[in-house]
């Protein structure tokens, strides 16, 4: 957070609704600027995403080459390549790993300062995270996709609604991913040290989100159970299946509708956890 | 003798501190093992869709994945922590390490010995043992020796990759995730038959950087299967030599890096 946030008008004559929209927008901007500072880290991360893109793409294409009907789990080779490369681009956009800010602030006691702000922590962190995701979309999303398009034949969307649906799906995935990370970090209110839950999240989100392999390779009942009972497939698997056009138009839209449900549920859970935590919070420090 | 006692004290302190918060430690212990479990499960899931991967059966592919997992987990346990180097270089706190009368690298490794990664080493070697049992290997003294040497050589190779990629921070402080492309990327690359990959990507990683000799070539030599990519049968026995070359390279990069280090301050 830089100094410009102090000038954000939270109490003003333009009315409370427009003022909170302005605050939210300013926080998104600050999140964007914060990540725009680390240009070299952006380049380093992009390089790594591309290397992993080659790895996963070659492995899945080798599976497709010998699979029954050359369509493992119903994907053509082009769809699999799209799945992998868009996935590598989205990884930094949804920000699956590495966010421990809330847990760190709880442990150090800095959270006390956040509670004094006129913006609730859930809203403030969400806005900053949307700014981070926007920066990721503008810098980290395109290079892996370009690398994939240069070296592999990709699937070109054939329906008009696929790209807009994908855009909505990505925004929802960012919100769901943030909500999950918020709840996982918030366990620090009770545990002090949230490293254990964060380890489990890092582990589960990658595999069950569909990063390592498309979840459709698992038995069908298990895939459906994961999708309905956990928010994890809504993080990567849904946007990737939408852009790869793995399913018919109805299921494609249905998966995004399921994301809406999860986004509402996870934000509600985050708000509930925060409220319960504030009632029993012991500020750390000394 | 005094030096050894100092290292032992550093290591023991790490074990005590790791067990101070028991619940967190146990979750991390199993969480870390889970990462390697999922790597192996990924191979199993892929084989649900296909009877062969790059021309290799499930049992053969598991031997490659097992060699890679055993070598990587051992290296990650002993040397993997060197990737904290970038935060020490950034903050200039490496100074404190350099002024002590002990080697810089051993100190760095023992300052934060990842006891939480111990269980995954056990799992990595378990996969290797099961994969060896699942394959019908025609045992000769040379192959028995190779089975013992190959995981150690793989660990030395991965350890060299860890040290070389962490040393990048001496010249490029913001190198960030670049190292992960070679350490974790290398682990994923070596878990699969080289015939899966293609073009210049395979040429670069498998042969120019030497990753083919970590698990793939030794597995072929153990199985007695000819290499579909045409390297001779004895090339699996080159793995200790390749590991030695990697270690020599890493040592050179590390020394050059330490000499290049100029501290920082504000």
Interface test with B, best of A39, A47, A58, A88 (most B CBs within 10 A): A58
Kind plus residue range of the DSSP H or E element containing A121:
helix A121-139
Query: Inter-chain contact A48–B177, Cβ cutoff 8 Å?
Result: yes
First to last CA, chain A: 24
Instruction: Compute the average pLDDT of residues B137-141.
Output: 93
Angle at which helix B141-171 crosses helix B178-190, to 10 degrees, equals 170
The whole-angstrom separation of Cα B173 and Cα A24 is 33
Q: Is B175 on the interface with A (CB under 8 A)?
A: yes
- Which residues in chain A have Cβ-Cβ distances shorter than 8 Å to B212? none
Query: Inter-chain contact A58–B196, Cβ cutoff 8 Å?
Result: yes
- Which residues in chain B have Cβ-Cβ distances shorter than 8 Å to A151? 199
pTM for this prediction: 0.90
A250 pLDDT above the threshold of 90: yes
Question: How far is A198 from chain B, CA to nearest CA, in Å?
Answer: 9
pLDDT at B157: 96
Q: Point out the residue among A48, A55, A206 whose CB comes nearest to the CB of B189.
A: A55
B211 pLDDT above the threshold of 70: yes
Token readout for A242 is: 């939408």
DSSP A142-163: HHHHHHHHHHSPPPPP-STTHH
The domain of A210 spans: 39-280
At which residue do the structure tokens 């509930």 appear?
A272
**Contact in structure between A234 and A261 (CB atoms under 8 Å):** no
φ/ψ of residue B53, rounded to 5: -125, 115
DSSP chain B: -HHHHHHHHHHHHHHHHHTTSHHHHHHHHHHHHHHHHHHHHHHHHHHHH-S-BTTB-HHHHHHHHHHHHHHHHHHHHHTGGGGGHHHHHHHTTHHHHHTSSS-HHHHHHHHT--GGGHHHHHHHHHHHHHHHHHS-----HHHHHHHHHHHHHHHHHHHHHHHHHHHHHHH-GGGTTHHHHHHHHHHHHHTS-GGGS-HHHHIIIIIIS-GGGTTHHHHHHHHTPPPTT---GGGGGGHHHHHHHHHHHHHHHHHHHHHH------
Question: How far is B44 from chain A, CA to nearest CA, in Å?
Answer: 10
C-alpha distances in Å from residue B151, one per residue of B61, B194, B226 = 16, 18, 21
The whole-angstrom separation of Cα A280 and Cα A275 is 9
Angle, vertex CA B240, rays to CA B237 and CA B33, nearest 5: 105
A6 pLDDT above the threshold of 60: no
Chain A: residues touching B (Cβ < 8 Å): 38, 40-41, 44-45, 47-48, 51-52, 54-56, 58-60, 62-63, 65-68, 72-73, 151, 191, 193, 195-197, 199-200, 202-203, 206-207, 212-213, 217-218
| Residues 189 through 218 of chain B touching chain A, CB cutoff 8 Å | 189, 192, 195-199, 201
- What is the per-residue pLDDT across A109-154, written as a single tens digit (0 to 9) for each? 888 888 888 888 999 999 999 999 999 999 999 999 999 999 999 9
pLDDT at A102: 92
The whole-angstrom separation of Cα B260 and Cα A252 is 55
Q: Point out the residue among B50, B180, B196 whose CB comes nearest to the CB of A67.
A: B50
- What is the per-residue pLDDT across A76-104, written as a single tens digit (0 to 9) for each? 999 999 999 999 999 999 998 888 899 98
Q: Is B181 on the interface with A (CB under 8 A)?
A: yes
Query: Inter-chain contact A203–B178, Cβ cutoff 8 Å?
Result: no
Query: Inter-chain contact B196–A197, Cβ cutoff 8 Å?
Result: no
Domains held by chain A: number:
1
- Residue A32 included in any domain: no
pLDDT range class, residue B149, cuts 50, 70, 90: very high
Query: Inter-chain contact A41–B196, Cβ cutoff 8 Å?
Result: no
The whole-angstrom separation of Cα B50 and Cα B58 is 10
Query: Inter-chain contact B174–A202, Cβ cutoff 8 Å?
Result: no
The whole-angstrom separation of Cα A36 and Cα B181 is 22
Q: Point out the residue among A151, A195, A203 whose CB comes nearest to the CB of B34.
A: A203
Asked which of A132-136, A219-223, B11-15, B246-250 is least confident by mean pLDDT, the reply is B11-15
Instruction: Compute the average pLDDT of residues A158-170.
Output: 95
Name the residue in chain B with its Cα closest to that of A75: B49
B246 pLDDT above the threshold of 60: yes
The whole-angstrom separation of Cα B7 and Cα B13 is 10
Q: If we measure between CA atoms, which residue out of B130, B146, B133, B157 comes closest to residue B233?
A: B146
- Residue A49 included in any domain: yes
The whole-angstrom separation of Cα A215 and Cα A87 is 13
Query: Higher pLDDT residue, B226 or A69?
Result: B226
Query: Inter-chain contact B188–A45, Cβ cutoff 8 Å?
Result: no
Name the residue in chain B with its Cα closest to that of A45: B177
Residue B145, CA atoms < 13 Å, CB-side half-sphere: 8
Task: Give the torsion through C-alpha atoms of B106, B179, A125, A276, to 10 deg.
Answer: -50
- Residue A210 included in any domain: yes
pLDDT range class, residue A2, cuts 50, 70, 90: very low
Q: If we measure between CA atoms, which residue out of B63, B224, B97, B199 comes closest to residue A57?
A: B199
Query: Inter-chain contact A196–B31, Cβ cutoff 8 Å?
Result: yes
Asked which of A62-71, B127-136, B218-227, B237-246 is least confident by mean pLDDT, the reply is A62-71
- Residue A2 included in any domain: no
φ/ψ of residue B56, rounded to 5: -120, 145
φ/ψ of residue A79, rounded to 5: -65, -40
């Amino acid at each position: 957070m830089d100094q410009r946030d102090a000038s954000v008008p939270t109490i003003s004559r333009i009315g409370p609704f427009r003022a909170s929209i302005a605050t939210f927008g300013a926080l998104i901007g600050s999140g964007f600027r914060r990540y725009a500072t680390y240009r070299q880290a952006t380049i380093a991360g992009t390089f790594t995403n591309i290397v992993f893109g080659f790895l996963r793409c070659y492995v899945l294409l080798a599976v497709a080459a010998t699979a029954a009907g050359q369509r493992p789990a119903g994907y053509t080779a082009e769809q699999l390549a799209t799945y992998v490369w868009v996935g590598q681009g989205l990884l930094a956009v949804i920000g699956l790993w590495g966010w421990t800010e809330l847990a760190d602030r709880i442990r150090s006691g800095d959270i006390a300062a956040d509670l004094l702000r006129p913006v609730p922590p859930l809203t403030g962190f969400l806005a900053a995270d949307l700014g981070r995701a926007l920066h990721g979309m503008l810098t980290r999303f395109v290079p892996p996709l370009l690398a994939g398009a240069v070296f592999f034949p990709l699937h070109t969307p054939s329906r008009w609604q696929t790209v807009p649906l994908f855009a909505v799906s990505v925004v929802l995935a960012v919100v769901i991913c943030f909500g999950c990370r918020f709840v996982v970090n918030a366990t620090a209110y009770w545990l002090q040290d949230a490293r254990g839950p964060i380890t489990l999240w890092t582990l589960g989100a990658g595999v069950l989100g569909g990063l390592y392999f498309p979840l459709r390779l698992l038995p069908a009942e298990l895939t459906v159970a994961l999708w309905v009972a956990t928010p994890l497939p809504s993080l990567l698997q849904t946007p990737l299946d939408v852009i790869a056009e793995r399913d018919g138009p109805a299921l494609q839209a249905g998966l995004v509708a399921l994301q809406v449900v999860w986004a509402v549920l996870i934000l509600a859970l985050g708000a509930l956890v925060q409220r319960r935590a504030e009632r029993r919070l012991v500020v750390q420090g000394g | 003798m005094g030096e050894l006692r100092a290292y032992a004290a550093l290591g023991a302190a790490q074990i005590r501190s790791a067990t101070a918060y028991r619940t967190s430690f146990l979750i991390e212990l199993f969480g870390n093992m889970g990462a390697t479990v999922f790597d192996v499960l990924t191979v199993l899931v892929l084989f649900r869709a296909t009877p062969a991967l790059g021309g290799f059966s499930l049992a053969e592919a598991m031997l490659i994945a097992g060699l890679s997992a055993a070598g990587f987990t051992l290296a990650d346990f002993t040397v993997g922590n060197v990737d904290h180097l970038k935060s020490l270089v950034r903050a200039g706190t490496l100074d404190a390490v350099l002024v002590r009368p002990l080697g810089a690298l051993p100190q760095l490794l023992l300052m934060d010995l990842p006891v939480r990664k111990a269980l995954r080493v056990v799992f990595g070697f378990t996969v290797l043992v099961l994969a060896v049992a699942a394959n019908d290997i025609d045992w000769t003294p040379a192959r028995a020796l190779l089975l013992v040497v190959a995981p150690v050589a793989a660990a030395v190779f991965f350890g060299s990759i860890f040290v070389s990629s962490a040393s990048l921070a001496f010249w490029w402080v913001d190198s960030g995730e670049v190292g992960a492309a070679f350490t974790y990327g290398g682990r994923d690359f070596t878990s699969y038959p080289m015939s899966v990959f293609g073009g210049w990507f395979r040429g670069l990683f498998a042969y120019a950087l030497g990753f083919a000799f970590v698990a793939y070539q030794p597995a072929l030599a153990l199985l007695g299967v000819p290499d579909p990519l045409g390297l001779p049968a004895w090339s699996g026995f080159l793995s200790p030599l390749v590991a030695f070359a990697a270690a020599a390279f890493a040592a050179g990069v590390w020394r050059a890096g330490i000499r290049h280090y100029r501290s920082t301050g504000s």
